[in-house]
Amino acid sequence: MHYHFFEIAQEEKNTKFIKEIDEQLLSIASLIESNNDFKSVIKSPIFSADEQLSLMDGILETMKVERIIKNFIGVLCENRRLFLLPEIIRAFHSFLLNLNKQATAKLTSAKPMSDEQKKNIKLMLSDHFSLDVDVEVIVNEEILGGLVVQMGSKMIDTSLLTRLKSIKNVMNEV
């Protein structure tokens, strides 16, 4: 489904337009992620297609998104597939990154990172995967220290929390 959407966007033959669409979709996704009311309207089957459509229209109007996105989300509402929106946005974004030989690495850190630290990790990952890696930092104090790097299906976990858990397991076996 998202490939079809991508084809429509690509017909514009305009990389800037496709990038804009991608950015608008990502901001919709982060709005869904951060707003529980919005999330429940999308995920819950108790809302009718019309209710979902009018709510989405209102939000998309405020966000001033491209017509192609409004139309696409309209079709999702009509087909009762709105709950797939976050997944479709993620797939569309990955598809674009692969197309451009780029990838996004999610870094989970116990505390905020400096630009210098981000730059160094970005360079290391870009070198290792021979891709242009974009770095997104998530701060989660629960990991205590270290880093968790998630890139596609690959995960490198050097968090203090994980190390403490493995020490605890070893101690239990003794």
Residues 57-110: pLDDT tens digits? 999 999 999 888 999 999 999 999 999 999 999 988 888 877 767 778 888 999
Q: Read off the pLDDT of residues 26-39 as tens digits, 9 standing for 90 and up.
A: 999 989 888 888 88
> Which candidate, 71, 25, 82, places its Cα nearest to that of 49?
82
Dihedral angle computed from the Cα positions of residues 122, 127, 132 and 134, in that order, rounded to the nearest 10 degrees:
-20
| Cβ contact 22:94 at 8 Å | no
All residues at 6 or more sequence positions from 31 whose CB lies less than 8 Å from its CB, including other chains:
38, 59, 63
Per-residue confidence (pLDDT) for residue 173, from 0 to 100: 78
Which domains can be identified in the chain, with CATH numbers? 2-96 (1.10.520), 102-173 (3.40.30)
Average pLDDT, the chain: 85
Q: How many helices (H) and strands (E) does the chain have?
A: 8, 4
| Cβ contact 136:104 at 8 Å | yes
Per-residue confidence (pLDDT) for residue 11, from 0 to 100: 59
Question: What average pLDDT does range 41-67 have in this prediction?
Answer: 91
| Cβ contact 28:65 at 8 Å | yes
Whether 18 shows a pLDDT value over 70: the answer reads yes
